[in-house]
Amino acid sequence: MIWQLVVKGGPVMIPILLGSVVGFAIVLERVIAFLKISSHDGQQCLHRVLQHTQQGRMETALKATRDVDHPVAAMLRRGLEQWDLPIEAVERAMEQAAQAQVRGMERWLGGLASVITLEPMLGFLGTITGLIRAFMMWEASGARVTVSQLASGIYEAMITTAAGLIVAIPLLMAHNAFISRIKRLAGFLTDAAHDLLDLHVRAHLPSRVPDETAHDARLPAHR
């Protein structure tokens, strides 16, 4: 039954089917990739890193980021590696690491968006070619045209439209779900970076207090 519909859909069904294979392969690959990103692991990693950093155990904090395969762990590790630098350098390093992680999560989504856009357009193209074929048969047969002669062209028109939409709709839902997940993870990365930067400010604040006190002591007393 399905194969008969594919055949009646005409040659436009070939790119529609190829696009569906590519699209669902991307969805499967992204689902597997996102299943490996555990929200619980990310939260636990952030908690351990902040706890160790607050207590001055920097090597232990670094080890905590190496033990977890999560975007937040990679970003925090980059910040901890630059810990002795000014806060601007730490912030820049974590921002670059976060952007790299987001780009990794967005892998193949551009191709998926292209498939989603092309599938309905191919379906509409099949509609046009099917109607053209039906009218050509009508013109060739004239008054002797039969319903069965027109049916093949109308079949092609309807089947290709339906096929394009059937493929595009679930792919669009999956694409939107991926984008929503990436936005949540990006927000988590931003919050985690701010938490670590707050600790950086606190850790380096005491080193500036004596300098300011000494500077105040050198100021001449006003009479």
- Find where tokens 């856009």 sit: 117
- More confident of the two residues 13 and 219: 13
- Determine if the pTM surpasses 0.75: yes
Distance between CA atoms of 200 and 56, rounded to whole angstroms? 11
Distance between CA atoms of 165 and 123, rounded to whole angstroms? 7
Distance between CA atoms of 192 and 4, rounded to whole angstroms? 55
> 206 pLDDT band (50/70/90 cuts)?
low
Distance between CA atoms of 172 and 185, rounded to whole angstroms? 20
**Confidence check: pLDDT of 194 > 90:** yes
Distance between CA atoms of 203 and 198, rounded to whole angstroms? 9
Summarize the confidence of residues 58-64 as an average pLDDT: 94
H-state helical runs in the chain: 2-8, 13-35, 39-54, 58-66, 71-81, 87-105, 109-141, 147-204, 209-218
What is the residue extent of each domain of the chain? 7-201
- pLDDT tens, 80-134? 999 999 999 999 999 999 999 999 999 999 999 999 999 999 999 999 988 888 8
Angle between helices 109-141 and 147-204 in degrees, nearest 10? 170
Query: ∠143-147-148 over CA atoms, to 5°?
Result: 120
Angle between helices 147-204 and 87-105 in degrees, nearest 10? 160
- pLDDT tens, 139-152? 777 777 777 777 77
